[in-house]
Amino acid sequence: MIVVMKAEASEEELDEVLAAVPKDKYDSHIFRGVDRTVIGLIGKGKDKETLKNRLSSYSSVDKVIAILDPYKLTSWNFKPEKTVIQLEHVKIGGEKPTVMAGPCAVENEEQLMTTARAVKKAGAEILRGGAFKPRTSPYSFQGLGEEGLKLLAKARQETGLKIVTELMDIEHIDVVTEYTDIIQIGARNMQNYPLLTAIGQLNKPVMLKRGMSATIREWLLAAEYIMTEGNHQVILCERGIRTFGEETRNTLDLSSIPMIKEISHLPVVVDPSHGTGRWELVRPMARAAVACGADGLIVEVHPKPEEALSDGPQSLKPDKFALLMEEISGMKNYLNRKISRNLQSVV
Ligand code: PEP
Ligand code: MN
């Protein structure tokens, strides 16, 4: 349930209300909004009606709303303001789309540094690059592991780009967290609940990719797994789902962007590289993603895609990536980005 405090409620009154919640049955998640504070109570207590009545009786409480729908911490009910993830000067979920770009996998220093410099010059703010790679075949390049993370950190140091890289299992949580700014949870791990629970306990932004055949409901519930542990810094990433088409690697479900924005305050970014599997389709789909309200893009870029150790066919060369950046910055209509439950920003 959601407890909406009155605008004038003091910290002491908030503490009083929190103290009335049975700690053994409910976890309290506090959201301090611009106007007022909201408490999200998540738990399995059987006495919900009694608790609702008790909390409603406090003069500092405006209203208590029971949430019956499956979305709790991800929903606008809990947080009527949009989530903006802030990494120093870089924002995800702000006024303009944030672009993450880089190779599918970190292969060597030269490849990474060349790519990092190129994407930075073109206007990207975050460098992507896998060090632990989930490959379909056990015989394919599996990533450089910690050495790859060190190269990413070096690229960050030189370019000022932030880093996003994939965490594949609990075993590597410490090492990946040490180096990265954003933890990527890949499509294959979207429903790895022990992993989601573990990263929910960190204080680090997480980019949760949509599972290969996940519904929007399953995807948002995966985000709930992370948030209910206390980590509310979640970015969703639409990366396409499996359908019957053979011409593209996946079907990029752009309708999920406005759909999620109806339900959730979380930022959504789009991956047109994995979403299509073909570099020729990346720019058109990136433009379409921005036009329908995506908060950002994650794009694979490689200096020599024909020599890439993974995902070459869907990687843009730096010149094409620069073109993409020009195209989207020319789209005046970063249209109607939803900034709160009812409001759309006017650009
Ligand atoms: C990736 O970003 O390189 C990746 C493996 O993505 P996904 O999990 O979406 O397949
Ligand atoms: Mn890839």
Percent of the chain with pLDDT over 90: 88
Over residues 2-43, the pLDDT tens digits come to 999 999 999 999 999 999 999 999 999 999 988 889 999 998
Over residues 39-73, the pLDDT tens digits come to 999 987 778 889 999 999 999 999 998 887 889 99
Overall average pLDDT of the 117-127 stretch: 98
Residue 71 Cα to chain centre, angstroms: 16
- Residue 41 near residue 54 (C-beta atoms within 8 A): no
Closest ligand 1 atom, residue 240 Cα: 9
pLDDT of res. 35: 86
Closest ligand 1 atom, residue 237 Cα: 9
Could you tell me the domains of the chain? 2-65 (3.30.70.1140), 85-338 (3.20.20.70)
pLDDT of res. 340: 66
How many angstroms separate the alpha carbon of residue 271 from the centre of ligand 1?
9
- Residue 280 near residue 247 (C-beta atoms within 8 A): no
Ligand that comes closest to the CA of residue 165? 1
Its pTM stands at: 0.92
The DSSP code sequence of 217-252 is HHHHHHHHHHHTTT---EEEEE--B--S-SSSSSB-
CA–CA separation, 211 vs 335, rounded Å?
27
How many angstroms separate the alpha carbon of residue 300 from the centre of ligand 1?
10
pLDDT for 338 beyond 80 = no
